[in-house]
Amino acid sequence: MSKTEPLCLSLLNICKSLTTFKQIHANVLKLGLESDPFIAGKLLHHCAISLSDSLDYACRLFRYTPNPDVFMHNTLIRGLYESDRPQDSLLKFIEMRRNSLSHPDSFSFAFIVKAAANLRSVRVGIQLHCQALVHGLDTHLFVGTTLISMYGECGFVGFARKVFDEMPEPNAIAWNAMVTACCRGGDMKGGRELFDLMPVRNLMSWNVMLAGYTKAGELELAREMFLEMPMKDDVSWSTMIVGFSHNGYFEEAFSFFRELQRKGMRPNETSLTGVLSACAQAGALEFGKILHGFIEKSGLAWIVSVNNALLDTYSKCGNVHMAQLVFERIMNERNIVSWTSMMSALAMHGHGEEAIGIFHKMEESGIRPDEIAFISLLYACSHAGLVEQGCEYFYKMKGMYNIEPSIEHYGCMVDLYGRAGQLHKAYEFVCQMPIPCTAIIWRTLLGACSMHGDVKLAEQVKERLSELDPNNSSDHVLLSNAYAVAGKWKDAASVRRSMTEQRITKTPGWSMIEVDKIMYTFLAGRKQCKITEEAYKKLKEIIRRLRVEGGYVPVIGRVLHDIEEEEKEGSVSVHSEKLAVAFGIARLCKGRTIRIVKNLRICRDCHAVMKLISQIYKVEIVVRDRSRYHSFKDGYCSCRDYW
């Protein structure tokens, strides 16, 4: 090795950018070292694997390398399969088989099988499996383990098991891959049987089972396994926090995070984003603030994903101002998720024009908007009634950015027209869609018909939905609403009777409120306990005051039961969000903002009550319903009664 070679290698070790790499490459060419296989291989490996956004340059480097060996082929195949274009690694493997004197080795097959897994293509995976058989590498430990993972990723657990059973001496990694395949395929029983048979279990074995149980919603089994674990790492804790959060058990997720801190362990990126996600979903602002303080004190504020999760938490807890402060703080670190989260935050709070402004700033910053960014943008236009702008951005998405609209984008457009009352335009748009229309699209249109009382169109849409999803309770309720808004009470009652006869149950409405860092859930009609008794008692007092001081008269137009007026008033008076706000007034200090999360769309009567409470009790109320935020203050709502 000449004196210049160690210098080139040491420079590569500290190289962090493509610009610096090009300078090193130029120096290699100047010194005539490009034909040295060792140097050429190191250059390619650093460019394809270690540097970001340099894969195209790596491909050019490979192209001009005379007689690349199997290591160089493998390096480029690996770089391509790990990128967002794994299909190109298949082309490179085919090129290697046709044109190269080098034969594929175990690494070649391991990397290319991973590409098939990333593509979720079992057809390609089977072809590669056959090629591995031809080369006698199918039972190679490394290749076999990758084949198991590939079949598991593609949902073919039986094929994965056959590969596993043919392995002469599977190691712990192969056992873990097989257990993972079972968990991915939803076969937790099979996964547990394999876990119990394992000759040696490592920490990953336990974590795989934890992840499988939480993904399957088997939270008690996950908890039992977590308690049995001989030792736990940050992955174990993160799995429990994220798993319980995703399954809606937010208080338990918070409890695991507190326990993690009590154990003296430092939360990692995943556990922090997981617990912040729980705060966001539950509307737990106070706990979110505590986490924000912890992030600042622990020196973790530099992590972009944590800041994005924090931004999302403040947004979904109804504090858009704090979300904006977080967004401003990460000015130089913003990625597409940061911009999209800020747009979504403004959109959900009804600030459509501001969301559009953020979109334009993102374009100016050089970040190219993706599919999700356009969903947020169209959502903003929809909830602010900006029909013309929404149409403009929908066509700009394809025309300027070459993004093919997905079903979510079409759904936003139907919602845009529907909220604005342009129902027949929405219907025409649906009929002209170039992709198959889903039940969700028709249901969006049915919701708009319900809102505006267009019975004739509602009946047409419901007929289409009956073909796709005949027993969905939401469709029956929306049709009933359309009849009720139009004053057709007998038709509304008929739909309700039909639901009863077919045993179709309506999704129960619930509301959550955070008081002293504890989450309380209210469900109308639930058996009373001390908490609900307190809420009912306070609510009766509030309603009496609203009648006297605010002239409150219940909005009963959409109470769809065939009952007397007095009973209808009673029905709307105990909706879960009213119980939650009453409990908040009873328990929270005067001047504190009341924040409520509701799983369904807020009804007109509850909307009217919240406005009156904010005016008479001089309190700010923020309600997050199924589709947006409502900020009530001094008798007004941020949605301007457009929701």
Give 100-135 pLDDT, tens digit per residue.
677 889 999 999 999 999 999 999 999 999 999 998
Helix, strand, or coil here: 573? helix
Q: Do β-strands 621-624 and 594-598 pair in parallel, antiparallel, or remain unpaired?
A: parallel
Residues in the chain: 643
Residue 643 to residue 629: CA distance in whole angstroms: 9
Kindly report the backbone phi and psi dihedral angles of residue 514, in degrees, each rounded to the nearest multiple of 5, phi listed first: -100, 125
The per-residue pLDDT of the chain, averaged, comes to 88
pLDDT at 568: 42
Higher confidence at residue 380 or residue 573? Answer: 380
Kindly report the backbone phi and psi dihedral angles of residue 366, in degrees, each rounded to the nearest multiple of 5, phi listed first: 95, 0
The dihedral built from the CA positions of residue 233, 235, 238 and 240, taken in this order, carries a sign that is negative
pLDDT at 84: 84
Pick left, alpha or beta for residue 641 (phi over 0 → left; psi -120 to 50 → alpha; otherwise beta): left
DSSP 8-state symbol, 589: P
Helix (H) or strand (E) holding 40: helix 37-45
Going by C-alpha positions, the residue among 311, 271, 255 that lies closest to residue 519 is: 255
The pLDDT of residue 373 is above 70: yes
What confidence tier does 29 reach under pLDDT thresholds 50, 70, 90?
confident
Torsion angle defined by CA atoms of residues 597, 598, 599 and 602, in that order, rounded to the nearest 10 degrees: -140
Q: Which two tokens stand for residue 417?
A: 């027209």
Give 554-563 pLDDT, tens digit per residue.
876 555 444 3
Give 553-608 pLDDT, tens digit per residue.
887 655 544 434 433 444 556 789 999 999 999 998 888 899 999 988 898 899 99
Give 156-183 pLDDT, tens digit per residue.
999 999 999 999 899 999 999 999 999 9
Helix, strand and coil in the chain, % to nearest 5: 65, 5, 30
What confidence tier does 527 reach under pLDDT thresholds 50, 70, 90?
low
Rounded to the nearest angstrom, the gap between the alpha carbon of residue 583 and the centroid of all alpha carbons in its chain is 31
The pLDDT of residue 345 is above 90: yes
Helix (H) or strand (E) holding 597: strand 594-598
Partners of residue 571 on adjacent β-strands:
none
Kindly report the backbone phi and psi dihedral angles of residue 103, in degrees, each rounded to the nearest multiple of 5, phi listed first: -90, 145
The pLDDT of residue 214 is above 90: yes
Residue 5 to residue 11: CA distance in whole angstroms: 10
Give 245-284 pLDDT, tens digit per residue.
889 888 899 899 999 989 888 888 888 998 998 899 888 8
Kindly report the backbone phi and psi dihedral angles of residue 452, in degrees, each rounded to the nearest multiple of 5, phi listed first: -100, 0
Give 478-517 pLDDT, tens digit per residue.
777 777 776 776 666 676 676 666 666 667 889 999 898 8
Helix (H) or strand (E) holding 511: strand 510-515
Burial class (CB in 10 A: 0-12, 13-18, 19+), 221: middle
Residue 136 to residue 130: CA distance in whole angstroms: 10
pLDDT at 567: 38
pLDDT at 504: 62
Neighbours of 368 (CB within 10 A): 10
Partners of residue 179 on adjacent β-strands:
none
Neighbours of 583 (CB within 10 A): 24
Give DSSP secondary structure letters for 223-256: HHHHHH-S---HHHHHHHHHHHHHTT-HHHHHHH
pLDDT at 478: 77
* Residue 134, CA distances (Å) to 54, 127, 139, 296, 510 in order: 34, 11, 11, 57, 60
Give 288-313 pLDDT, tens digit per residue.
999 999 999 888 888 899 999 999 99
The dihedral built from the CA positions of residue 625, 629, 630 and 632, taken in this order, carries a sign that is positive
Q: Which two tokens stand for residue 171?
A: 């190691």
pTM to 2 decimal places: 0.76
Helix, strand, or coil here: 519? strand
Percent of the chain with pLDDT over 90: 57
